[in-house]
Amino acid sequence: MIDLSEGVQVRRALAGAVAITRALASSGGTMMGTIYTGDAGVTITLTARDPAGAIISLVGATVKQIYLQRPGGVADSAIARAAQFTDGTGANGQLRYTLDANDIDAAGLWSAQARVTLAPGARFRSLAATFIALDPL
């Protein structure tokens, strides 16, 4: 099993070329941070770790996705998004996806889960990390 609950980060691009990266404390698959409905340019980064906490290489993965589960947890309501390696190869075990304005369309408790195919038939799913989405003022 790949545990992607540790090392969750959110990167928010601000006005102009300024970007702020905020590492969020996570425990038990909970991403402690707030995202707003309609946010675009927020990058979710997940790090693959084994049960001992060592980083798992994702080199050779043929399918890399981050699933976003809407509030309410209806199984077929998860949306799959193609993820990218943060280092170009997967050696550092990190996947990222940058939200577009239509991804987070409801306020509430969301979940993010990585799904990776490393070889034909070898599929892995992470533990789900959660985050809160609020309606903007």
Residue 4 near residue 127 (C-beta atoms within 8 A): yes
pLDDT for 13: 36
pLDDT for 33: 55
Continuous segment of H or E residues that includes residue 118: strand 108-119
Q: pTM of the prediction?
A: 0.71
Rounded Cα distance, 71 and 82, in Å: 21
Rounded Cα distance, 98 and 10, in Å: 9
Dump the DSSP string for 4-35. Answer: --SS-EEEEE-STT-EEEEE--EETTEEEEEE
Extents of the domains making up the chain = 9-134
Indicate the class that CATH gives domain 9-134: mainly beta
Rounded Cα distance, 130 and 82, in Å: 19
Amino acid identity for residue 36 in this structure: Y
| Mean pLDDT in order along the chain per 10 residues (137 residues) | 39 29 35 75 82 84 90 78 91 89 91 84 79 89
